[in-house]
Amino acid sequence: MIVRPRPHWIRLLFVRRGSLIHRIAAQQLFIFTLSCAVVMAHGRFFDWKVTLTSGPFSLMGVALAIFLGFRINASYDRYWEARKQWGTVLVEARNLSRQAMSLIAPGQDVRPFVMGLIGFASTMRNQLRGRPCTTDTQGLLPEPLRERLTGARSAPTLVLLWLGGWLQERRAARQLEPMLAHKMEMSLDGLSAALGSCERIANTPLPFTYSVILHRSSYLYCMLLPFGLVDSIGLMTPLVVSFVSYTFFALEALSDEIEEPFGMAPNDLALDAIVAGIDASLREMLGDLPPPAPQPDANFILT
């Protein structure tokens, strides 16, 4: 995720990081070269004069913009839904930690349970990003549990099972009232629901044919546009076509990037920072000194 103060409006015109220009540079160069060739040929394709005007492109441009806007909205809905689910993980982890510290009988060590909640957030991030399940879980989860997670298909689910078993042991030892245990189980259910929602987003991309139609339509529109403008604006055709194609190609690239919000692209969610925030919050509740907050790198990217 790009985290930076908004630059001056002049610098904002030339900023590269986050503009996706590196992803669409080849397409832009192709469209610019094609536009220059059309201008040099005066809109002729071999011996055939391509008789196009700007009228059809106005109609097609409106339809394509609506289609592209729907694609952007669908991708952003996935991005925002993923962020809300991680907010749920933070809230439920805090609730469970507070309840464990205040509701379980005095004198009981609740640190393993609280650290297990941090371990759940870490394993959830690892699974969504395709990392080994036990990455960054040293000192958070018991070693037998970490060994069990190795090679597991759903490591966060096993961590939730262990957390539920820990509550069951406290209830069996009469260190936790059954009604209070039920309330804490409901918070564990909330963590499970957030995990399931994120898995749904990660495992169900937008229909592939939707991307194909949008991709083909954008390229066909931008490739034909020089023929519709050359007779009316002449030498300015490459500049105008490049601007229009940048808008379409950049929006398509952005929608493709945020469609999968759990990756490591500059505009994806900063899951490492979110997990670090959960870690710091719960450690403070235990009375520990939290680690320093993650900072964006030199490119203003927070992972």
Do residues 257 and 268 make contact, with C-beta atoms less than 8 angstroms apart? yes
Whole-angstrom distance, CA of residue 86 vs CA of residue 124: 10
At residue 138, what are phi and psi to the nearest 5 degrees?
-65, 130
Q: What is the mean pLDDT of residues 132-152?
A: 91
In this prediction, residue 131 has a pLDDT band, given cuts at 50, 70 and 90, of very high
Write out the two tokens for 140: 């958070």
- The string over 45-83, giving b where at least 16 C-beta atoms fall within 10 Å of a residue's C-beta and e elsewhere, is eeeeebebeeeebeebbeebeeebeebeeebeebbeebe
CB atoms < 10 A from the CB of 245, how many?
25
pLDDT tens profile 215-228: 888 899 898 888 88
With beta carbons less than 8 A apart as the criterion, state whether 64 and 221 touch. yes
CB-based contact 40:34 (threshold 8 Å): no
| Domain boundary assignment for the chain | 9-286
Q: Among the residues of the chain, which ranges form H helices?
A: 9-14, 21-40, 54-103, 111-129, 143-149, 155-172, 178-203, 208-233, 237-258, 271-286
Percent of the chain with pLDDT over 70: 96
Question: 25-29, 133-137, 166-170, 297-301 — which is least confidently predicted?
Answer: 297-301
Task: Flag the least confident range among 15-29, 49-63, 120-134, 248-262.
Answer: 49-63
- DSSP string covering 160-220: HHHHHHHHHHHHHTTSS-HHHHHHHHHHHHHHHHHHHHHHHHHH-PPPHHHHHHHHHHHHH
Does this model's pTM top 0.85? yes
**CA gap 124, 195 in Å, rounded:** 7
Average pLDDT value over all residues in the chain: 88
**Distance of alpha carbon 55 from alpha carbon 208, whole angstroms:** 31
Q: What is the mean pLDDT of residues 55-84?
A: 87
Given a cut of 70, whether residue 46 has pLDDT beyond it is no
What gap in Å lies between CA 167 and CA 211, rounded to an integer? 47
Angle, helices 178-203 vs 111-129, to 10°: value is: 10
As a whole number, mean pLDDT of residues 194-215 equals 90
